[in-house]
Structure 1
Amino acid sequence: TVMLDLMPLADNDRWGAVLAYLAVIGMAYSVGNFLLIVALKWLVMGRYRKRADPMWTPFVWLSEGITSLYEGMAAPNFMRYLRGTPWLPLAFNVLGCKIGRGVYMDTTDITEFDCVSIGADSELNAGACPQTHLFEDRVMKIDHVSIGERVYMGPRSAVLYSAVVGNDAHLGALTLVMKGEHIPAGSRWAGCPASPDRA
């Protein structure tokens, strides 16, 4: 019906109205995708908590369903346009994350939202990932990822579940912080797995 509505405007050379109409429809579609995922996340999953469930159980299927819908609808149609703006942390907080003020995020790679906390003035660069779950021996294990204040996460770096990154820590590009590790405040780490950066 959008095209049918636009045809009379285009026939009358009202291109400004065509562009305005498309902008409004596009924005409504994007925001609608996000709001649908927010509603489904809270209605179906509620609040994510630390847990371990066998792969072939309803919880895992529902969780993966919400993740797939988020990654297929909200992330490409809404969240990616907020990357690098103050609005992306706010959108993640609506989904359940605990993200402080002044956080710069150039990534939409978060799944179990309630299990992520990021301190104020931290920087998560392109593709950086607080990874709150892993499948181990056909068991989905979920736990919290805690990232302190003023932390720098380089592009494509990842922090696995149960890990804590202290304030003012620096994780280089492609750094992998293993599950359960504690990165001391003010330290510099790089590599896969992460080790102290001597550079």
Structure 2
Amino acid sequence: WLAAAYNYGIAAALGGVVMLLAGAMAAGSAVVAKWVLVGRIRAGEHPLWSSFIWRNEVVDTFIEMVSAPWFARAATGTPALVWWLRALGARIGRGTWCESYWLPEADLVSLGRNSTVNRGCVVQTHLF
């Protein structure tokens, strides 16, 4: 759109800003979906066929199909990823190095100060 409306120079100059905004919207959509569809997650048991499980799967789909490609993979190892995970409900201490967005049921995750989560690691919080 920028190239068609203005020119390729403007599109190239603003392309990074557009991508940052797209990433922010993708990250925000998962946060909104999480709080609207599931709310705060507490430790407990739910049948696989329950509404809670399926709503939680929808949120996970937002994270994996929208936020991961547009935001989380690019933000790996940055404070932005930690801020986003905190917005999803994870408790993450200062100085934590996190190279993974895979924190299912983020409300149940607590990473202490100066901890490390390696790339691709899943901090598993559930068992079906």
Q: Cα deviations across residues 122-178 of structure 1 (Å, max 9, x unaligned)?
A: 11111122101121xxxxxxxxxxxxxxxxxxxxxxxxxxxxxxxxxxxxxxxxxxx
State whether residues 41 and 95 of structure 1, in contact with CA within 8 Å, keep that contact through their aligned partners in structure 2: yes
1:25 has 2:14 as partner: no
Q: Please point out which of 58, 63, 69 is paired with 2:62.
A: 69
What TM-score comes out, normalization by structure 2 length? 0.92
Residue matched to 1:49 = 42
| Structure with higher helix content | 2
Residue 8 of structure 1, CA deviation: 5.0
SS in 1 for 2:23: helix
Q: Report the secondary structure of 2:127's partner residue.
A: strand
CA contact (8 A) 1:86 1:102 kept: no
1:82 aligns with one of 75, 78, 85? 75
Higher strand share: 1
Q: Quick one: distance in 2 between partners of 1:110 and 1:56?
A: 22
Q: SS where residue 78 of structure 2 aligns?
A: coil
Partner Cα distance (2:68, 2:126) in 1: 19
Contact 2:94 2:114 in 1 (8 A): yes
Note if 1:9 corresponds to 2:14: no
CA RMSD of aligned residues (A): 1.4
User: In 1, distance between residues paired with 2:11 and 2:117?
Assistant: 38
Provide, for residues 9-66 of structure 1, a one-character-per-residue CA deviation record: whole Å limited to 9, x for no partner.
33xxx52x12123222222211111111111111111101112111112111101111
Structure 2, gaps ≥5 residues long: none
Q: For residues 99 and 62 of structure 2, what CA distance do their matches in structure 1 show? A: 20
The whole-number CA distance in structure 1 between the counterparts of 2:5 and 2:45 is 57
Given that 1:105 and 1:125 are in contact with CA atoms closer than 8 Å, whether structure 2 keeps it comes out as yes
C-alpha separation in 2, matches of 1:54 and 1:125: 31
Say which structure, 1 or 2, has more relative contact order (CA 8 Å, 6+ apart).
2
* Separation of aligned partners in 1, 2:113 and 2:126: 23
Count, aligned residues: 128
Q: Deviations over 1:88-110 (max 9, x none)?
A: 21211111000000000111111
- Structure 1, gaps ≥5 residues long: 136-199
- Larger of the two Rg values belongs to structure: 1
